[in-house]
Structure 1
Amino acid sequence: MSVGWSIHRLQLLHELQMRGTITAVATALSYSPSTVSHQLTQLEREVGAPLLQPDGRRVRLTAAGETVAAHAARVLSLEEQTRDELDVDNPMPAPVRIAALQTSARALLPRMLDMLVVSHPGLRVEVWVIPPEEGLFEVEARGFDLVIAEQYPGHTREHRPGLDRVSLGRDPIRLAVSPDSPIYSLEDARGAAWTMEPRGTAVRSWCVQQCRGAGFEPDVRYSSADLLAQVRLISSGHAVGLLPEQLLAGDESPVRLIDLPGSPTREIFTAAREASAESKGVIAVREALQHAFHDATAVFEDPHAMPHVE
């Protein structure tokens, strides 16, 4: 009689396909590399075919390994759907793990949590603030249930397999300068010191293109993924930068915002695995996020809410 394949070991193979190395799998799942290797060897015995082969100091999946990994993804999705169906009658939805970008964590999460306290009291929500690129990957890899991500004009995010995508709305992007800055247009910022996110990010590329479109190469002296640090540099007059409105929600650092040509906006969206998109917890969180985004937008549209906007 043939032996059934362990779902746990199938998950490890799926993780290896996603993450690329046994060390990365071990780190993500809090195992030792030797434990992961041993479990994958056991899976090869269950399947009856070699699933891995050496590739330098690493391993890679064989053709059979790729086939079994694709099967593993289907099995894990079916298991997740089944769990959600069984959870329908449960008065308390399963916890929801969220990967959020910094601006949305600042502008939306407090409002979202306030709403969930009323609509779904007791629902456990866990949040990690990480870059959108990492968040989208980790949702696909089942590290999170939902990601709040962004995409800038002309820099769309990859549509990862098995993930849905729901737009929350648009967030205006403007040039931010100190209150007493002599700069009143993007062209005026030609000789200014700039602060931007690190090289290789979509937003850095977009910001540089805006400057080049205005006829100059930006002098980027300060590079930081911490947008609040960027706000402090701008507020104190040491730099200028292109910032989304959401970042300034509740921030007391005075900045003056200047409209950009074409009034560009970034899109804020959520993504979840298709297998879990209909779960009670994910639906509840998405509904609360949509209301929070609407409320945040209404605050920014209030002419008295942003005294330094022009």
Structure 2
Amino acid sequence: MFELRRLRLLHELSLRGTLAAVADALSYSPSTISQQLAQLERDAGIALLVPDGRRVRLTEQGAALAAHAARALDADEEMRAELERLQPSIAPVRLAVLQTAARTIVPTALTLLAERAPMLRVELAEVPPEEGLFELSARGFDLAIAEQYPGLTRAHRPDLERHTLGLDPLRLATRGAAGPLGDLADRAWVMEPVGTAAREWAVQQCRAAGFEPDVRFSLADLGAHVALIASGHAVGMLPDLLWNGSRPPVTLGALPGDPAREIFAASRRSGAGRPGIRLVRDAIADAFDGLGAA
């Protein structure tokens, strides 16, 4: 009989690629991971890993067992969700959020939850959407608030389901009056780091306007974007959700086509039935709707 804990280690290795990455994600030592996977090989009676330079890779049998491990983990989560429905518990809900949601949606959602389910514990981490969705699939989180930019699609993971919260308009941000986007070709730009959907989308807007942006400032903190723009050191593109009804310290202008990003909540299909996850997701949706009403 295979032990579920060891199967999860194999599943994590199939996702993350290295023993060190698995150890870091699960707060184990690499030697502990190696020992547990070696025991799993003995349980299976066949080689699951082979050396590949300084790393290891899954054998064909290892990949097959990793796929079965994913299904076993889903089944375990579904069983726990069913038990939680029959006997409500206070199992914590681990939530991954993008920065603007942490500043605006989450505080209101937590206030709603304090009234609706005061015993429910919500654990929050601010992570980029790309990382949040990956870790959600890897069971590091139970729920994620993420974004999708117009014209840029995210891969649809079959193990995740999405619930659209609404649209968040995107605008040109400058200090003082500014003309069309094409007039800012010679200005310094601040954008989010390379590899993020926000960066790719913003660069594409500039290219469509006929120029390659001079990105001098690459920062994940949108508050730093605002400070650089307000002080006249850069221009950028910012979402309305950042302001949440407050007066922006920058000048906001229209972008071609009046674009908006989609904000959505995602959860694993196997755990979506958990009452706690539903409560948090509903509170997030109500909080977002409340912002629109304001």
How high is the TM-score relative to the length of structure 2? 0.97
1:19 is aligned with what amino acid? Answer: R
The structure 1 residue matched to 2:125, chosen from 109, 125, 128, is 128
Q: For 1:64-115, what per-residue CA distance to the aligned partner results, in whole angstroms no more than 9, with x for missing partners? A: 1011111111111101110111111334341100110001111100010011
The structure 2 residue matched to 1:85, chosen from 82, 85, 88, is 82
Secondary structure at the aligned position of 1:249 is classed as coil
Larger deviation: 142-151 or 191-200? Answer: 191-200
The structure 2 residue matched to 1:241, chosen from 232, 236, 244, is 236
Compute the displacement of 1:269 (Å).
0.8
Secondary structure at the aligned position of 1:71 is classed as helix
2:91 is aligned with what amino acid? Answer: A
Which consecutive unaligned segments of at least 5 residues does structure 1 have? 300-310
Contact 2:149-2:201 at 8 Å conserved across structures? yes
**CA separation in 1, counterparts of 2:235 and 2:28?**
45
* Equivalences for residues 270-289 of structure 1 within 5 A: 270-289=265-284
Alignment correspondent of 2:213: 218
Contact 1:232-1:253 at 8 Å conserved across structures? no
Q: For 1:159-197, what per-residue CA distance to the aligned partner results, in whole angstroms no more than 9, with x for missing partners? A: 12311111111100000112xx24133233222221101
Secondary structure at the aligned position of 1:126 is classed as strand
* Equivalences for residues 106-117 of structure 1 within 5 A: 106-117=103-114
1:283 is aligned with what amino acid? Answer: R
1:200 aligns with 2:192: no
The structure 2 residue matched to 1:37, chosen from 34, 39, 48, is 34
Secondary structure at the aligned position of 1:104 is classed as helix
**CA separation in 1, counterparts of 2:247 and 2:257?**
28
Compute the displacement of 1:298 (Å).
2.4
Secondary structure at the aligned position of 2:283 is classed as helix
Alignment correspondent of 1:10: 7
1:228 aligns with 2:223: yes
Compute the displacement of 1:295 (Å).
1.1
Q: For 1:123-144, what per-residue CA distance to the aligned partner results, in whole angstroms no more than 9, with x for missing partners? A: 1001100001100110110000
1:260 aligns with 2:255: yes
Alignment correspondent of 2:19: 22
Compute the displacement of 1:209 (Å).
1.3
**CA separation in 2, counterparts of 1:138 and 1:36?**
19
Q: How many residues align?
A: 294
Alignment correspondent of 2:174: 177
**CA separation in 1, counterparts of 2:280 and 2:27?**
27
1:57 is aligned with what amino acid? Answer: R
Alignment correspondent of 2:97: 100
**CA separation in 2, counterparts of 1:77 and 1:92?**
19
Contact 1:93-1:280 at 8 Å conserved across structures? no
Sequence identity, in percent?
58
Taking structure 1 as reference, are residues 245 and 253 closer, same or farther at Cα in structure 2, changes over 3 Å only?
Answer: closer
The structure 2 residue matched to 1:137, chosen from 106, 116, 134, is 134
Which consecutive unaligned segments of at least 5 residues does structure 2 have? none
**CA separation in 2, counterparts of 1:106 and 1:118?**
20
**CA separation in 2, counterparts of 1:267 and 1:25?**
31
2:153 is aligned with what amino acid? Answer: T
